[in-house]
Amino acid sequence: MLFRCMLAAWSVLALAGAEKKPVTARGTNVNISIDATAVLDRAEVKQMLGSDFGGAIVVVEVKLTPRAGKELKIFADDFVLRSYKDGQKSQPFAPSQLAGKSVLMLTRKASGGGMMGQETGPIWGGIGGPPRRMGGNGGGVGNSASAESVDATDSAEDSSKSGDKDPLLKALKEKALPEKETAEPVSGLLYFPLDGKHKAKDLALQYTGQAGRLTLEFQ
């Protein structure tokens, strides 16, 4: 009986220790402080938003705090997510690019020591599904290492009229980082396309906005 109790207690402690720690990063300068939490796990993304987007999206929650009472203009495009693993970099998608009627043409471009390359795999996306280009035969050509970036082009009509009827689009809009001018702390989600599996140490969030430049490395 005592052994069973000890075993049960050990199992509880083991499960508690196995809980995932938040993937966080922080950066600050004289104008702004930024705290970020990256969600890489598909199950966590689905629980948060209602879809895992086929594993093609990394969600980053950011909190921006202007310093010294200075008003700052906040835009989602102030941010870029970079991967040290393979050189990928991307700006966040708008909610209407991930849900509703819009369909994105998502491509990866390679640059570096050789010629520019482009993925040639098929594209999928649209209503209820994430836009994504599956692996093809494209890539950089040359002898030196190349860096990849993700480009997206909206190829369908504006989905704003159907936003209230699409629960996924509604959730994405409600939780997205608000774009505005403010002297108060503001927080919200950014939705970055990222191909393949990455660890926290692979990723960095770059801010280039009115408050200057910051690089936040996740731990």
Q: What tens-digit pLDDT sequence spans the chain (219 residues)?
A: 544 544 444 444 444 444 568 899 999 999 999 999 999 999 999 999 999 999 999 999 999 999 988 899 999 999 999 999 999 999 999 999 999 765 454 444 444 443 333 343 333 344 344 444 433 333 333 333 444 444 454 444 444 454 457 899 999 999 999 999 999 999 999 999 999 889 888 999 999 999 999 999 998
51 contacts 130 by C-beta, under 8 angstroms: yes
